[in-house]
A = this chain, B = another copy of it.
Amino acid sequence: MLEIIVADYIETAAPVASQQIARKHELSVSSATIRNDMAELEEMGYITRPHTSAGGIPGDLAYRFFVERHARTARPSRQFEILVRGSLLADSGDPDEWARRAASLLSNSVRNVAIATPPQIATAKLKQLQLVHLQETQALLVMVLQDATVRQRMVNMEVALSQEELTDAAVRLNKLLSGKTTDQIKTAWDADYQPHPADDIVVVEVLKALVEEEQAHDVRQYTQGLHHILNQPEFESTHSAREAVEVLEDGVALKRVIINTGKESGIDVIIGEENPQENLRPYSVVLARYGIPGEATGVVGTVGPTRMDYTTAISSVRYLANFLSELLTALGEERP
């Protein structure tokens, strides 16, 4: 039931009515029954109605259900596969160019904005980090990188820690993180880090932010297909369209999302309000990381209205990511 509504709404962009469902899908139930079911769905928060006597439009929850239940398993069209192979195998062996073409291909496939970053080689290695006591609850976090550059930041801690306690914490954190690239740090973090009772939460948070910033520093990203936005009915008003273009063209919000995209060869689907980046809440993002984990990885994905065609989006992104990974490992073996 819910899936029909979502699929219909994705296609038509209009509130879906009970009678339409009954007619279109030749179900053996009448519109009245459907109305009852829809009332239930509304109560559970899956769909809303623009006004009392109108059809239902799915909310983020409904899309989430749809994605988990149906869209994840889809395969890309044969045509898309051929196009990708043709375009990416031709010509250049330049990974930068691959990213640009991937964005272009994806954008055409999903008829939405697509983004891609070229594979980034994780260069910045952490040498050491220090915590210096300043006052009561204030400390300085100093991060020394392998290439001798230094990053620092003030921390306002939750509890007052002495210099000894801070040094202790620094030693612990160094043991875990030093010698690693920012990329590896992010990975190690999720896997190995266990909060130590003596660690101050704020210190950890600031460190995290600092590492992310370092990563973000020069992520180059290619954006393609901005014009697709203007075709979508949700952006018919100039205002919303302008906002969308502004956010996507600028790209810092996306950059933040990209950095947090996991590497476990899965597809990240972030639907509407789920997005930690406030600017991106009106949209959905489908992202995948590709490349060789820990060595050189990039990201491909697409951004669109929450009412986007998740099925082809997910399958296209997955196929592209896999193919780019293949290309990249082949390149690595060729020139060792």
Contacts and interface: CB of A to CB of B under 8 A. Distances in A.
Interface string A245-286: 110010000000000000000000000000000000000000
Q: Which 4 pairs show the lowest CB-CB distances between chains A and B?
A: A230-B242, A227-B245, A227-B246, A227-B242
B238 A230 contact: yes
Interface string A121-147: 000000000000000000000000000
A206 interface: no
A236 interface: yes
Contacts of A246: 227
Interface residues of A, number: 14
A115 to B, nearest CB: 13
B226 A249 contact: yes
A296 interface: no
A24 to B, nearest CB: 28
A13 interface: no
Contacts of A226: 226, 245, 249
A231 interface: yes
A227 B245 CA distance: 5
A241 interface: yes
